[in-house]
Amino acid sequence: MTSYQVIEASWSEHEEVLKDIRRQVFIEEQEIPQAIEWDGMDEEATHFLALDEAGAYVGTARFLPSGQIGRMAVLPAHRNHGVGRMLLDAAIDHARASCYYGVFLHAQDYVSSFYDKAGFTVVGSPFVEAGITHVKMTREFVVNFDPPQVDSIPHLHPVRETAPEVTPGPVPEQAIRLEAEVECREQILALSQQARRMISIYSQELDPGLYDDVAYAECLSQFARRNAYTHVRILIHDSTRMVQSGHRLLNLKYRLPSKIHIKLVPEEQLREQRAFLLVDGRGILYLPKFHEPIGFADYDNAPLVQQFTNEFDAFWNRGREDPSLRRLAL
């Protein structure tokens, strides 16, 4: 009986063989249009390749930063030998190791039982994708993952009485411990200046000491106007103070309503004490208690940022629109 193994692959090193397998299975066998198959997301994905005992590549799968497993393809001569399950397990193991809460996929309807046996559950109604009926399936798993304790992070910078002007620079190689409002404000600005696609802010009242700042408002304005793909999402508990006293980011939201969005968290989250800022998929500033400027900033921690992004997305999807933030016509 032929034996197989699965290796982790990258698009930069294995593009040709990945394309060849998917071309045979999806484009030629299943007649999926090339424009759909080559969707532009392969460079950011983690890929997996199955090899037979002779070292020939016989199957592939990919894992996207969103938590989606896809492009599961096994060459015809090697099907029904457990190769597909090996690829699936490799993607799941990768997600676990990267501290994801779960994974999801779009399964072709006729093979949904394959994923069912691997612990996936159908969510929602069938839909058509690339002319083929699919179902969304998810698998959740428990991840015991907590952010590092602030006390365990070295205090790399002395406490400053005033914040220096910050311009984009090299990304620090380790987390930075924060012990003062001025340090938090400095790192919020520096992190946001590194952003290229998405800035997500969770702040109970959009703390004016941290966010109602001329330099930060200008930073967000430049970021939001950069291109069509940049967005800012802000989750808050209460807008009373910012509406009554004014806030630069609220004014910015009114000027750029398609790029800057503010929502109230779901009611069950109103006891949440943490506050954090997320930048793209790698940067984070975290305060265990929103009313204390003690926490840390980390410019390169994808697993931790993914966990907070998953939580933020869940809150955002269940979030509430705030009538108080509607700008009145004059």
The tens digit of pLDDT for each residue in 231-248 reads 999 999 999 998 889 999
pLDDT tens for each residue of 25-65: 999 999 999 989 998 899 989 999 999 999 999 999 999 98
Residues 171 and 313 in one domain: yes
The identity of residue 259, as a single letter, is K
Give me the CATH number covering residue 272. 3.30.870.10
Question: Do 108 and 208 have their domain in common?
Answer: no
Residue 168's nearest CA partner among 189, 196, 185, 184 is 189
pLDDT in the model for residue 115: 94
User: Token digits for 237?
Assistant: 């508990």
Question: pLDDT tens for residues 63-109?
Answer: 998 889 999 999 999 999 999 999 999 999 998 877 676 889 999 88
48 phi, psi to nearest 5 deg? -135, 140
Q: What is the CATH number of the domain that holds 30?
A: 3.40.630.30
Query: Taking Cα atoms as reference points, which of 286, 299, 309, 310 lies closest to residue 148?
Result: 286
Tokens of 300: 């390169």
Domain stops at, among 89, 118, 140: 140
Domain holding 299, by residue range, is 150-325
Q: Which residue from 214, 219, 225 is spatially nearest to 201, judged by alpha carbons?
A: 219
Pinpoint the alpha helices (H) of 177-258.
181-193, 208-211, 214-224, 240-245, 248-255
Instruction: Find the Cα–Cα–Cα–Cα dihedral 192, 263, 269, 66, rounded to 10°.
Output: -60
Does this model's pTM top 0.85? My answer is: no
Which class for 130: exposed (0-12), middle (13-18), buried (19 or more C-beta within 10 A)? middle
pLDDT digits (tens, 9 = 90+) for 267-296: 888 888 899 999 988 899 999 999 999 999
Q: Are residues 270 and 241 in the same domain?
A: yes
Pairing, β 68-74 against β 57-63: antiparallel
Reported in sequence order, the residue ranges of the chain that DSSP labels E, i.e. its strands, are 4-9, 46-52, 57-63, 68-74, 102-108, 121-129, 132-140, 176-178, 198-202, 231-236, 260-264, 275-279, 283-287, 295-298
pLDDT class of 148 with cuts at 50, 70, 90: low
Select from 140, 166, 184 the last residue of a domain. 140
